[in-house]
Chain A
């Protein structure tokens, strides 16, 4: 398996523009997570899905942020309009369902999308 695939790897945009980040999870994983990483706030959970259904979006900072998962192999995180304070690395991660034993609680992260909003 190629692992979690994110695109774009780097995005530079101007304030006010719409940004769409994309993620393909590992096949067979039931859970998909979007995290944001900044120096000031570390790794923050934005939202996660179970079987394509959003379960907890309490980490989404504002209405400018939205996430969708139309099918088991694709998810998007959209920021509209973008602001300079949205500059961060956005990670997508997937995980297999499992509550007992081994490493079944593991998050498999993608390479991340580095967003710069000017």
Chain B
């Protein structure tokens, strides 16, 4: 089955700096890669996703890049703000959708004011 590894497990940045979280996946057939944000004590929520037919996608301060050859994808957050502090999960699926997602272990991002 799919295996998704996520790094780093914890990340601290100063407000205004950029943050990068990286994930690798094992199944070359995976074609859908979402990122979820989970604030403390809350539910995970989708923040951005990318499919294998594109290499990059951007939504305001958030961007995701995908390298299918190397089987890795990354989340980039620019101009970080304290409200970006949360646990971020990457995931991968070969179904092209939310079916059978395999999640990474999560990254605790702390934005220091």
**A positions within 8 Å CB-CB of B:** 31, 33, 42-45, 48, 55-56, 91, 93, 95, 98-100, 103-107, 109-112
Contact = CB atoms under 8 A, between A and B. Distances in A.
Interface stretch (B18-26, B39-47, B60-68, B72-80): B39-47
Contacts of B106: 42-43
A109 B44 contact: yes
Contact-residue size bin, chain B (C-beta under 8 Å from the other chain): 20 to 34
Which one of B46, B89, B99, B101 has the highest number of Cβ atoms from chain A below 10 Å of its Cβ? B99
B100 to A, nearest CB: 6
Interface in B78-113: 89, 93, 96-106
B49 A107 contact: no
Given A31-B98, A42-B103, A95-B98, A105 B32 contact: yes
Contacts of A103: 46, 49
Contacts, number: 57
Given A42-B105, A112-B43, A107 B98 contact: yes
Contacts of A106: 34, 46, 49, 98
Name the prevailing secondary structure of the B interface residues: loop
Interface of B: 32, 34, 36, 42-46, 49, 89, 93, 96-106
Name the prevailing secondary structure of the A interface residues: strand
Given A105-B34, A106-B34, A48 B43 contact: no
B97 A43 contact: no
B32 to A, nearest CB: 6
Contacts of B49: 103, 105-106
Contacts of A100: 96
B96 to A, nearest CB: 5
